[in-house]
Every structure is written in structure tokens, then in C-alpha cells.
Structure 1
Amino acid sequence: MRIATLHGFGGPEVLILDEAPSPQPGPQDIVIQVAAAGVNRADLLQREGLYPSPPGAPPWPGLEVAGVVAAVGADVTSWQVGDQVCALLPGGGYADQVAVDAGLALPIPAGLTMVEAAGLVEAACTVWSNLQAADARAGERVLVHGGSGGVGHLAIQIAAALGMEVWATAGGPERAARCAALGARAIDYRADDFVSIMTDAGGADVILDVVGGAYLGRNLDALAIGGRLVVIGLQRGARAELDLGRLLMRRARIIGTTLRSRPLEERRAIVAGVREHVWPLVPGQVRPITDTTVPLSRAGDAHRALDGGGVFGKVVLTVAD
């Protein structure tokens, strides 16, 4: 089968088309004939040598795919050959086929294309698991940083559909307007100070942050009393100083999470939660936005698009018709 793999670490040019043996299902696995694969910022970090695949996962990138079940393991009863599915992966999605634990697959929601589904599952699992980690509830005020991103644009929709008051930051008036159209009270961080705006609004009960160290102190200032900051990305640094006095005065919590490295049972539980609570909202209240599609053979161009910073929503690799 074809794979888009890494020829060393570095820029998008290290992604090359190669071949690897087709996967065989373990007893609890399914094999998916991949139609499309989502591209995520974690893939960019892996390409740079900063986020290797966990033990047992293929060494090439790809955390989510959509396609058709091509084979099932001996113990699998939940899926059959021919089922249309999308799946959360620990790696290896940039390929014609993937083998994945059957508990990490979801049916493709009616009304979604393979391309849309391929850009939905990882972000939906990320958003759901982090809202759960923050104990976010209907009626609470949630601030989403990076509202125009692959995770952010779905976080806006999911949190709003679950009854939360959603605010979001985005760079520039056009991107802020698109976030507003998704259901957020949008803040153009290039023109306005999100801390003062959130403070005037009463503070954020929950902040979902993809920025990292550069925003730590400002995020703490933007929290309401009893607020929860969930750090889900480190786009602008992994280190920062923390004023513990402000943390204590706000009775705040700072939560750090990952998805890929969790034990299998935890990932299965997250996928099950998404199927129960998020999938009924798709596509009526929640729908992924695909900004760009790129063939598997040009995976480096997909990384260039995401690296460029102009994407709204998801970049998706098209693998097969």
C-alpha cells in the first residue's frame, strides 16, 4: 500500500510517498480502506521530530481517517466489511489502509462526506474530552482560543450546541466574523484585548487554549472565580511563569491534557462519549469545515497549507475515491 512517510525530520519536503506492507487486523481490530485522512498540527510536530508515534503505532503521521471497513478481527462484532466509518488513530493515517482498534471507530454521520468525516473525529474527541476534563456545563461561559482552527471551529459549535455561552479569539476581522457565524461572540485578538473583554463579561468559566506559554498569565487574568484553564496546545511556547497568588485568588484550576498517548481504554471511552453526546448533533448543529483538500501524493503541500496560517477549519488528504 502507499504511505506518506517521513524521510528524516524538517520541513514539508521530508514527507515522501513510499510503500509499506498492508496491515492485518488483530483480534479486536478493523482494517479501513482509507478514503480521506485529516491533517492536524500534531502531524506537523511529528514531521519536525517533536512528537513521535507512540509504541506500536506506524511511524508515519495521521491521527484520523474515514473510509470503508475492509477486514475485521476475529473478536469484532460491532463492524462488518463494507461499513463506512471514521476512526481515531495513534498514528499512520497517511496511508491507503489502516488497522485500528474497533472501539476507536465511529459510523460516518448521515449527510457527511468522507472528506468531512475525516476532519471531524480527532477534533470532536479533543473537544469532548477537554470539556469533560473542565467539568463544563450548560450556561457556563467558554472561551475558545484559535476559533478558526481545526479544533477551534468545532469547539465553538459543540460547546454552543451543549448550551454554553461561547466566546472565541481569531486573527483578523474576517476570521472573527466566521467564528461569529458559527455561534461565538468573536474577539479579533489583533485589534482587541481578550482579557479586558472577558473581564467585562464576568470572566470565562472555561478556557480551551491552544496557544500555550505565551498566554498563561493572560488566560489566568481572563478566568472567572472558580474558572478552569485547559491547555490543549503549545503553539507559542511550552514554558511560562505562573503567579500563584492570582491562581489562589481565583480558586482556579489549570488542566493539561493529551489524547494520542492515553491508554486504549481511555480513548475507547472518549470515542464512546463522542458517539453518545456529539454524534447526534452532526450535521444539524455541528459540521466540520474543510478549507483545503490535497492528494496523499502531495502530503507536503497539505503541511505547507497548515503551516501557512491561513486555513479556516481543516486540511484533509484525499486518498481514494
Structure 2
Amino acid sequence: MRAVVVERYGNPASVAVVERLGPEPAAGEVVVRAEAMGVGYVDVMASRGLYAYFPGPGSSPGLEIAGVVESTGPGVPPELVGRRVLGLPAFGGLAELVTVSADRVLPLDDGVESEVAVALGVNALVAEIGLRRAGVDAGRRVLVRGAGGGIGALATQIAAAHGARVTAVTSGPDRARRLLASGATRTVGRDEGPALERDVDIVVDPVGGSALADHLRLPAANGHYVLCGAAAGAPSGADLEVVMEMFHSSPTLHAFSLNSVAPADLRASWGRVSALVGSGRNPGCRRGALPAHRGTGRAARRRTGRRLRQGGAAPVRAF
């Protein structure tokens, strides 16, 4: 089989398409033949050696694939073979055949194309579960940082589908127009957010970085802050000082990773996302399927630093 591999950390030449033996599923695993795969910023970080959980050079990036179950390991019902699924591997997703834990494969409805599934994928699950934990509901005031990215764009749309009033923090008029069209109540420039929007009920933050301290001051009393990424850098000790500064307003800080979510909760969340897709109040995605002969090369180039499109995980057709 073919796979995209990080041969060494760093520059574009360090990522290559190689031939490898196909995997055999171990106990509790399935092998999925990928039809489409998601390429997101976390994969760029992994290829540069900036993501601690990436196994390292010689490994394939990729956290989300859509395709058909080809084989099952011991302890997995054999009737899964032939079913279309969204798979969430612990990396290794940029390959023709991918091993995935059976409790991290989610069913795909017939009406959901593979490219759409991975464009939603991890980003939609993070956004949906994070917002639900923070109590999103009609009339709630939600501020989304990095709203032009994958998690942020979907958090904007999912919060709006719940009837929340959403302020989307982004950059550039084109992204602002798209976010307003997809449900944001208003948009603000990313340098204006802390100055213009305070006393919100929920902040969704996949960005982190040096501006985190300013944004931690935005929730209202008893508000929620969902820190679900660190695209601009990890929190610092100064950020913890701000949390203690806000002590008497009783904020709730959710440090949220999808890795902590139980399989049953993943399936329930994917069911809710799929229902939104089917209802027409759907979290949308920008379509970007590529012909099979171009998919691997484009995936490799995206992994090494080229700007990803608004909408986050860029779907590429598998090999």
C-alpha cells in the first residue's frame, strides 16, 4: 500500500509517499480502506516535530479517514466488513489501509460522502462536544476564537444551529462574510476581540497562544471557557494567574481533548452532527476532493507549511 510518511522533521522534502506492507488488525481493531482523508493543522505540527503525541519520523500523520472496513481483528464483529465508516486513528491516517481501534470507527449514513465526512470529522466532534459541555443553548452568548479555522468554523455553525448568539473572531473580510453566512451574529477582527466582547457565556478557543490571558477575562460570571487547541502556542504560568484572578466570578475552564471522550459519547456526538447535516441546519464544509493520482502529493505538500484553506481539515481523495 501507499502511505504519506514524515521521514524527518522540518522542510517539504521531509514528507514522502512510500510503499509499505498493508497492516493486519490486532485484537479490537479494524482495517479501513480509505476513500478520503482529512489533513489539518495538527498534521502540519506533527510533521515539524511540534506535536508531542506524534510517534516520530517514519510514521504517517493523519487523524481522520473515511472509507470501508476491509478486515476485522479478534473480538470485533466480522459483520463490520464492508461498512462505510469515519475512522479516528491515533495518527497513521494518510495511507491506503489504516488500522483503527474498533471503538473509534463511526457509522456513515449513505447520504454523507466520504469527503464531507472527513471535512467534518475531528473538528465537528471537538466543536460539538466542547459546546455541549459548556451548556450551549438558544440565546447563549458564544465567542469563537479562530473562527476561520476548522474547529472554529464548525463551532460557529453548531452554536448558531442551537440558537446561540455567536461572535466569530477571525481575520479578513472574506472569512467574515462566510462566517456571517454560516450563522455568526457578528464578526470581529482577531485583534479586536478582547476589547469589544466581554461577559459572554461561552468562549471556544482552539488558538491559545500569547493572547490567551486576555481572552480568559471574557466570560461572564459562571461562564465557560473551552480551551480545545493551541494553534498559536501552549498556555503559560501567567495564564493560570489570570484564572485565579477571575476566581470570584466562578468561571469554568474546560481543557478539552477528544482523546478523553468515551466511545459511546463519540458515537452520540457523531449522531448529532449527522442529524444537523441531514436537517439542513448543517455544519458545512468547503469541498476539496482531488483526483486519486494527485491526492497523495497534495496531502504531503499541505503537511509541510502551506496555508490550509478556511474550514480546517482539507479533504483529499485517497490515492
Report the TM-score when normalising by structure 2: 0.87
Partner of 2:210: 214
2:225 aligned to which of 203, 206, 229:
229
Q: 5+ residue gaps in structure 1?
A: none
Q: Can you list the C-alpha shifts for 1:174-224, whole angstroms capped at 9, x where unaligned?
A: 11110011111232315x72234323xxx2111111221322222123211
2:276 corresponding residue in structure 1: 281
**One-letter amino acid matched to 2:228:** I
SS in 2 for 1:69: strand
Offset of 1:129 from its aligned partner? 2.7
Q: Residues 19 and 115 from structure 1, CA distance in 2 versus in 1: closer, same or farther, beyond 3 angstroms?
A: same
Deviations 1:258-285 (A, max 9, x none): 224x3xxx34133222134322112422
Sequence identity of aligned pairs in percent? Answer: 31
> How many Å separate the matches in 1 of 2:139 and 2:212?
24
Alpha carbons of structure 1 residues 314 and 179: separation in structure 2 relative to 1, 3 Å = same
Mapping 1:28-43, distance limit 5 Å = 28-43=28-43
Matched-pair contact (CA < 8 Å) for 2:115–2:287: no
Per the alignment, residue 134 of structure 1 pairs with: 134
In structure 2, what is the Cα distance between the partners aligned to 1:78 and 1:275?
22
Give deviations 1:92-115, integer Å, cap 9, x for gaps.
000001121222112223433211
Query: Matched residues in 1 for 2:300 and 2:54: separation?
Result: 22
The answer to whether the Cα contact below 8 Å between 2:63 and 2:93 also exists between their aligned partners in 1 is yes
CA contact (8 A) 1:109 1:282 kept: no
Classify the secondary structure of the residue corresponding to 1:158.
Answer: helix
- Shift of residue 287 of structure 1? 3.7
Counterpart in the other structure of 1:258: 257
Distance in structure 2 (CA, Å) of the matches to 1:245 and 1:274: 32
| CA distance 1:79–1:188, shift in 2 (3 Å) | farther
- Residue 18 of structure 1, CA deviation: 0.9
Residue by residue over 1:34-59, the C-alpha shift from the partner in whole angstroms, topping out at 9 and shown as x without a partner, is 0111011111111111224467xx93
Per-residue CA deviations over 1:102-151 (Å, capped at 9, x if unaligned) read: 22112223433211112222112211232244343443222111112111
Amino acid at match of 2:50: L
Aligned residues between the structures = 310
When the two chains are superposed, the root-mean-square deviation of aligned CA atoms in Å is 2.5
> The residue matched to 2:32 in structure 1 has which SS?
strand
Alignment partners' CA distance in 2, 1:129 and 1:150: 15
Determine the C-alpha separation between the residues in 2 that align with 1:103 and 1:185.
Answer: 37
Alignment of 1:112 with 2:108, yes or no, is no
Code of the aligned partner of 2:179: C
- Matched-pair contact (CA < 8 Å) for 2:131–2:155: no
Q: Which residue of 2 aligns with 1:84?
A: 84
Are 2:136 and 2:162, in contact at CA under 8 Å, matched by a contact in 1? no
Q: CA 1:54–1:13 in structure 2 vs 1: closer, same or farther (change >3 Å)?
A: closer
CA distance in 1, matches of 2:218, 2:144: 12
Answer yes or no: is 1:7 the counterpart of 2:3: no
1:126, 1:237 → 2: CA distance? 18
Q: Find the residue that maps to 1:278 and give its secondary structure.
A: helix
Question: Does the 8 Å contact 2:40/2:312 carry over to 1?
Answer: no
Which residue identity lines up with residue 197 of structure 2 in the other structure?
M
**Alignment partner of 1:125 is 2:121:** no
For residue 253 of structure 2, give the secondary structure of its aligned residue in structure 1: strand
> Structure 1 counterpart of 2:202, which letter?
V
Q: Deviations over 1:70-95 (max 9, x none)?
A: 11234323853221111112110000
Choose 118-127 or 88-97, whichever is displaced more: 118-127
Q: CA 1:310 to 1:281, structure 2 compared with 1: closer, same or farther past 3 Å?
A: closer
